[in-house]
Structure 1
Amino acid sequence: MTALSRRQFVAGTAALAAAPFTARAQAWPNKPIRFVVPFAPGGSSEIIARSAAGELTKSLGQNVFVDNKPGASGNIAMQEVARADDQHTLILGHIGTLAVNPYMYAKLPYDANKDFKPISLLAKVPSLYVVHPNVPAKDLKEFLALVKAKPAQMNYGSAGNGSAGHLAMEYLKMASGIFITHIPYRGTGPQLTDLLAGRLEAASVGASAILPHIKAGKLRCIATGSTQRLPQLPDVPTVAEQGFPGFEMTQWYGMLAPSSMAQAHIDKLAAETSKGMKNASAMERLTHDAAEAVGSSPAQFAQFIAAEQKRWKAVVDRAKIRAE
């Protein structure tokens, strides 16, 4: 073997030996992925996030775990994830953090459009309007009449300023002309504790989180924010049916990554997430909780966010919703 041949042989052998290690170094994900939920456990956000995380865990070959980090209407978690550059951190986007907070706060510690890359719209959840059984109102009409008869004497709770429940009730207040005091909590779980105990008269909560309490008779649903009646609650009319044509209030949740995440990882996540959310088992699981699985592309999700920002900016300005 000539000297040149020996050099070529050694170089080729070294390349072959290094190939598996290079492939492993470039493989992604190469460690567990943290999926941050900017709200306390116990609400629709956790149900959607865990469903998506479960599907991704199966398809990516790495554990995708949910990390609840509530506080400041989701701003604490959004700020933390915006700065994450480990390529293994995601966040659950929401109507509040993406479409309301930018207009509710004079200054945010994150830019909803520049600091994140949309991956996929995961699911939509209809908002339900409920009251404690002690409230003598069987439907929306009776509830509105009761509130008008007791101005400033009744309270409603939400998962926090800018949460979907806050928006849903303010939207109803705008449409009906009622006044009812807002009591913000640090998440749906703490809010439900007081609502179930009768310390709150009313609330609007995502169907996924509250259906079991309605079916158990612990809360009374007086209206749904959906465009049509829900199969799970066929006897409960929509808000639109009860005197407010065109009224619709639906929560939504999507997956985003920090803007620093490599586009190749975004593309992989988008493909697997879309496939996972359209999986029969995921769709069946979410339908059981009255949620609609979506699984959109990044471009579709970006367009959806832009449309929602335009819609809710007008609501926030008109209702004068501001951070407290």
Structure 2
Amino acid sequence: MNARSFKRRTLSLLLLAAGLAAGPALAQGDRFPSKAIKILIGFTAGGSTDVPFRVLAENASKILGQPVIIENKPGAGGVLPAQMMQSAPADGYTLAQVPLPVFRLPYTQKINWDPVADLQYVIGLAGYSFGLVVPADSPIKTMQEYIAYAKAHPGQLTYGTPGALTTLHLTMENIAMQSGITLNHIPYKGNSESLQAVIGNHVMSVADTPGWGPYVEQGRLRLLSTWGDKRSSKFPDAPTLKEVGINLVQTSPFGLVVPKGTDPKVAQVLHDAFKKAMEMPNYKESLAKFDMETYYMDSAAYRKYAVDTMKTEKAIIEKLGLAR
């Protein structure tokens, strides 16, 4: 056998070996799923995260032909499911919801994993709804007046949130940064406490999810702005931040990830199934009950969102002096 023939035979054997090695993974992807799939979410049952997710899971189970089970893992600001992905098998049968607080973890505490590099992004699903309210008898009637008051009274305009380092807290500081104002943050232990504080005029404003909705409808609170890409269907009179000159959309998007190293073919099956599931009317209706909307991102766009959000969160955390 001459040298050229030997090289050709060696190359053929190497290609054959590579094909055999790849075969089982591809075959596994073709059969996927063959058993129940579970989704870990970081919040309690019955809330604005859990209820729509159960509708989504039911839709996806019909598409995939296997049960899709929701497991609640509340606590730590919703970040536990992403952390659990670090030890979960990379087989596509365990997914996790990733809320915004995951992307600020490396800057506020010591962790041994990276939210971008150590998670495999499958699909962006939806986003929460937020807004800024003041008491109905407040002299501040618009978002422009809110900013003007803060400029005239640096550090005196107070706002409440459900807690420090929440998305609401950091978004308000982002608004302040863009507007060139200094606000006075008053953290509370939860939504109900902060809302009662603003109703009782103990704080001048509150940033929150639509727990303020009934009070706005009753005329006890005034909604200055909502933070989505477009106006709220329930409160169409309130402008978005963009409409008042603040280049910011905060719907706190969330989606699904799998452990790093999951077969891309398996991840694609999951993406396609959940995309169909999120487009079904019953899922959109379940979101609408909480004034939420779908916020679709494919795998590449969702990962890019994660990269960009890590940078934004780092800047805000450092500005607040809260970096570890």
Range with bigger deviation, 111-120 or 79-88: 79-88
Q: CA deviation at 1:112?
A: 0.5
Matches within 5 A, 1:1-324: 28-31=33-36, 33=38, 35-40=39-44, 44-46=48-50, 48-60=52-64, 61-71=66-76, 73-85=77-89, 87=91, 88-98=93-103, 100-102=104-106, 104-105=107-108, 107-133=110-136, 137-144=140-147, 149=153, 151=155, 154-158=158-162, 161=165, 163-176=166-179, 177-183=181-187, 185=189, 191-198=190-197, 201=203, 202-207=205-210, 211-212=213-214, 214-217=216-219, 219-242=221-244, 244-259=245-260, 261-287=262-288, 289-322=290-323
Amino acid at match of 1:279: M
> Aligned equivalents of 2:51 and 2:294: distance in 1?
12
SS at match of 2:297: coil
The CA deviation string for residues 43-75 of structure 1, in whole angstroms up to 9 with x for no partner, is 65445534433322333330421414211x444
Amino acid at match of 1:293: T
1:122 Cα offset (Å)? 0.4
Superimposed CA distance per residue, residues 158-187 of structure 1 (whole angstroms, 9 cap, x where no aligned partner): 3552x32122111122233122124164xx
SS of alignment partner, residue 160 of structure 2: strand
* Structure 1 unaligned spans of 5+: 1-22, 186-190
How far apart in 2 are the matches of 1:128 and 1:198?
16
Contact 1:169 1:203 in 2 (8 A): no
The answer to whether the 8 A contact 2:79-2:99 is kept is no
Amino acid at match of 1:107: K
Alpha-carbon distance in structure 2 between the residues aligned to 1:47 and 1:141: 36
TM-score between both structures, scaled by the size of structure 2:
0.73
Stretch moving more, 120-129 or 86-95? 86-95
Counterparts of 2:41 and 2:228, CA distance in 1: 24
TM-score (norm 1): 0.73
Paired residue secondary structure (2:75): coil
| Identical positions, percent | 20
In structure 1, how many angstroms separate the alpha carbons of the residues matched to 2:282 and 2:224? 31
Structure 2 residues without counterparts, runs of 5 or longer: 1-27
- C-alpha contact 1:41 1:68 (8 A) present in aligned 2: no
CA distance in 2, matches of 1:317, 1:150: 21
- For the residue of structure 2 that corresponds to 1:166, the secondary structure is helix
**SS in structure 1 of the partner of residue 197 of structure 2:** coil
The answer (yes or no) to whether the contact 1:225–1:248 under 8 Å persists in 2 is yes
CA apart distance, 1:27 = 5.7
